[in-house]
Amino acid sequence: MELGTWNLEPAIWNSELGTRNPEPRMRGFTVLELVIVIIIYSVLVTVLLNRLNYYQELAEKAAMEATVRVVKTGLQIRLAELITANRQAEAARLEAEDPMQWLEKKPANYAGDYREPPERGAWYFDERERQLVYVVNTGHRLELDSGPEPKEIRFRARLLKDRIQAGGATVESVTGITLAPVRAYRWSRSTAGAILAQDLHSLKG
């Protein structure tokens, strides 16, 4: 009997003795395995989308707060100019005028006079209310009193005053200026871990 070479490829033996099928038999996914894969994929996509939304909202909040700081600095510089020029009497106008005008370069998302419907993610100046308005783009984690949709965070320039002694008399003098929110708000800065826990809890529900 002539010896042949060894064939290391797996083979499936047929029922007939001494014969085999040279092609291996392929086993496909069962229905249960397919369902499990679909569920895992759905959970991962949901968590990923929630993470993306969370970081986008966090970036929006940071950008809004940065703009508020820049506008506040512009107001303070303008007030200092008035005080230096002995024109404190004109300081009251700072509470009524558009504070964006004191910036050398306005934000790219500043849309000018307030109008309805406002554009999401844009800044406006409401001349009637004398308020600087930011129209929130996302705001899922923004806690704000009931109001219009989309959500708006409104700010107003306010002079800071103090009583000082001058010439033997007590007089009220302007000591500074700030940009304060008209209504209190809370924009959550939950950590990514806490948000992930919330997402998993919602998925279980």
Q: Taking the complete model, does pTM exceed 0.85, yes or no?
A: no
Strand, helix or coil for residue 40: helix
- pLDDT truncated to tens, each residue of the chain (205 aa)? 444 444 545 555 455 555 555 555 556 668 887 778 788 877 777 777 667 788 889 999 999 999 999 999 999 999 999 999 999 889 999 999 999 999 999 999 999 999 989 999 999 999 999 999 999 998 888 988 766 678 999 999 999 988 776 667 777 788 899 999 999 899 875 544 444 444 444 444 4
DSSP for 36-61 reads HHHHHHHHHHHHHHHHHHHHHHHHHH
| β pairing state of 12-13 and 20-21 | antiparallel
Domain locations along the chain: 31-204
> Which has the closest alpha carbon to 97: 83, 113, 108?
113
In this prediction, residue 6 carries a pLDDT of 47
